[in-house]
DNA sequence: CGCCTATCGATTGTAGACAGATTGCCGCTC
DNA sequence: GAGCGGCAATCTGTCTACAATCGATAGGCG
């Protein structure tokens, strides 16, 4: 267990607790830690040079965000996934994604657009390179940022929860399997660009349509067994 | 500080940490602790006979649920509310409430219906009596239970977040001010009954329409300054 | 031979005490 | 007299150590 790889994406050298949280989020999103796995408090405290209480605090927080599940007198486990999860996901995702994207299109500033383009640049780089975890991570960051631009505290919790499993579903299904999937990936990348454009032009209708198509692409990319049509949403603010 | 009043609604004598969480939730929902108030770790640890670490754990959890807000090296504060909050609330609430209610109508079992009726009985009792906190609390429980019946892990986080402010908005505006408001309150109570009926008959369309009307009633019950129309949702599963 | 039970080990939960940061106050200087 | 700087008190963040609970294994009984 000398593998001391600490991928603290934010590079928080001093704040080890933040590093712990970020690292765990990243590992869970990229399935370095599989759904259902147990998390050992002592191992984590040693890895990050902390004692157990702050580790436990971080656990509670991650549990609140939906990354892990806690049970009394039992070890923490990474939130599990099932076929039911997939069904639930594709039922709700269009609803939430469409709503956040619409709101983002209405309120985005130039700084917001710049931030989105920056993330998208990293995503495109991951797509062109062979960085699977990067794709998963920056796709997550992209949609999360849209949610932050939308800036509605009631919508964000569900978006965050969706994004966790969006990343994990992606990690499962977006393997470099065949040429068709590579095409789809590049299509997804173009859709990101188009979504940014629509948001930049405050075109909520187009942004919503694009994000729906974006989700449909994900859905079609995997076996159809778990994919209902999803809720339709028409927003008239 | 001999005031050892422990209003643990669940009466969890042994599990003091659960009692702490439940009590804080209840106090925040009923605005016994006002938005923006600071929470003193030491005072809470003394009140519930705990040391600070478990109190801090509970704080992290409550922060994840949206009840309080944490900042580094600063005291925990109850999540604040603003005019913007009200606007955001009525924009998103119809979307989430409609979706959860539809799903509940599709999946509810007889046991679920019985549970809803039980909560509704307590709500009606609070309405007929003069128990304002009871109204706030059981209305919260009613809609939360519908969310639990819907049983979609991606929808629940936002519903929970909405319900926090639904309760607090209710506490602000549903004072026993005038006869009109009393009428509205009784109307809301009848709507609850109707919603249960619609769910029991698996009539998703009717359930959705009812819950939208239910929210409109809330919206009309207060000054119109903060109330946009809200997003429309049409669900075709 | 199989099932139940009791004890042991390991892990979770908690307590009390210590370092680091922040805020408010007081005194000093201009 | 007003503004700035330093000091102290308080609170947050953390650590070490102890208690309680759970799971597994081994032994005994039917």
Phi, psi of B197 (to 5 degrees): -60, -45
B26: nearest Cα among B97, B69, B78, B83: B78
Tokens 């509605």, residue? Answer: A152
By C1' distance from the Cα of B75, the closest nucleotide is D12
- The two structure tokens encoding residue A140: 């997550």
What average pLDDT does the structure give for chain A? 87
- What is the average pLDDT across B103-120? 97
B52-to-A53, B12, B14, B43, B167 alpha-carbon distances in Å? 10, 19, 17, 10, 29
Contacts of A202 (CB under 8 A, 6+ apart): A105, A106, A108
What average pLDDT does the structure give for chain B? 87
Distance B144 CA to D20 C1' (A): 34
Residue A42 exposed, middle or buried by CB count within 10 Å (0-12, 13-18, 19+): exposed
Q: What pLDDT was estimated at residue B3?
A: 30
Q: What pLDDT was estimated at residue A150?
A: 97
Q: What pLDDT was estimated at residue A174?
A: 63
**Which residue of chain B comes nearest to A150, CA vs CA?**
B88
pLDDT in tens, A183-213: 888 899 999 999 999 999 999 999 999 999 9
Among the partner residues A60, A153, A228, nearest to B57 by beta-carbon distance: A60
Q: What pLDDT was estimated at residue B25?
A: 96
Q: In percent, how much of chain B has pLDDT > 90?
A: 70
Q: A57 contacts in B (CB within 8 Å)? A: 56-57, 60
| Cβ separation A99–B231 shorter than 8 A | yes
- What is the average pLDDT across B78-98? 93
A99: nearest Cα among B61, B220, B155: B155
Catalogue all structural domains in chain A, each as residue range(s) with its CATH number: 16-78 (1.10.10.10), 83-226 (1.20.120.530)
- What is the average pLDDT across B94-102? 97
- The two structure tokens encoding residue A126: 């991951």
Chain centroid offset of residue B220 CA: 19
pLDDT in tens, A75-107: 999 999 988 888 899 999 999 999 999 999 999
Q: What pLDDT was estimated at residue B72?
A: 92
Residue B237 has pLDDT above 60, yes or no: no
- What is the average pLDDT across A140-146? 97
Contact A136, A63 (CB under 8 A): no
> Which residues from A are below 8 Å from B when comparing CB atoms?
15, 53, 56-58, 60-61, 63-66, 72, 85, 88-89, 91-93, 95-96, 99, 103, 152-158, 160-162, 165, 228-229, 231-237
pLDDT in tens, B40-61: 999 999 999 999 999 999 999 9
> Which residues from B are below 8 Å from A when comparing CB atoms?
15, 53, 56-58, 60-61, 63-66, 72, 85, 88-89, 91-93, 95-96, 99, 103, 152-158, 160-162, 165, 228-229, 231-237
Question: What SS3 class is residue B32?
Answer: coil
Chain centroid offset of residue A111 CA: 22
CA dihedral over B188, B190, B196, B200, signed as positive or negative: negative
C-alpha–C-alpha distance, residues A148 and A152, integer Å: 8
- What is the average pLDDT across B95-108? 97
Q: A162 contacts in B (CB within 8 Å)? A: 154
Residue A233 has pLDDT above 70, yes or no: no
Q: What pLDDT was estimated at residue A2?
A: 33
Contact A13, A43 (CB under 8 A): no
By C1' distance from the Cα of B39, the closest nucleotide is D11
| Strand positions, DSSP E, B20-157 | 38-39, 68-71, 74-78
Contacts of B201 (CB under 8 A, 6+ apart): none
Q: B93 contacts in A (CB within 8 Å)? A: 154
| Cβ separation A56–B53 shorter than 8 A | yes
The residues close to strand C, meaning Cβ under 7 A, are A 38, 40-42, 52-53, 56, 70, 72-76; B 15-17, 49-54, 57, 73-74
Q: A99 contacts in B (CB within 8 Å)? A: 92, 95, 231
C-alpha–C-alpha distance, residues B134 and B32, integer Å: 13
C-alpha–C-alpha distance, residues B109 and B199, integer Å: 9
CA dihedral over B119, B159, A68, A35, signed as positive or negative: positive
């Amino acid at each position: 267990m000398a593998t001391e790889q600490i991928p603290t994406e934010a590079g928080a050298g001093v704040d080890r607790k933040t590093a712990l949280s970020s690292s765990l989020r990243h590992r869970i999103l990229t399935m370095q830690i599989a759904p259902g796995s147990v998390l050992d408090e002592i191992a984590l405290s040693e890895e990050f040079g902390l004692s157990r209480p702050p580790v436990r605090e971080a656990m509670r927080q991650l549990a609140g965000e939906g990354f892990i599940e806690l049970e009394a007198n039992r070890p923490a486990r990474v939130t599990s996934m099932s076929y039911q999860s997939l069904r639930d996901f594709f039922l709700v995702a269009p609803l939430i994604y469409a709503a956040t994207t619409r709101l983002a299109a209405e309120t985005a500033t130039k700084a917001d657009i710049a931030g989105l383009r920056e993330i998208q640049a990293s995503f495109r780089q991951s797509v062109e390179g062979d960085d699977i975890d990067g794709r998963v991570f920056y796709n997550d960051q992209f949609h999360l940022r849209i949610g932050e631009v939308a800036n509605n505290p009631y919508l964000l919790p569900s978006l965050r929860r969706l994004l966790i499993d969006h990343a994990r579903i992606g990690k499962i299904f977006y393997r470099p399997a065949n040429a068709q999937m590579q095409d789809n990936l590049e299509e997804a990348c173009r859709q990101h660009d188009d979504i940014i454009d629509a948001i930049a032009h405050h075109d909520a209708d187009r942004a919503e349509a694009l994000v729906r198509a974006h989700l449909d692409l994900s859905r079609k990319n995997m076996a159809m067994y778990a994919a209902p049509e999803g809720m339709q949403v028409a927003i008239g603010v």
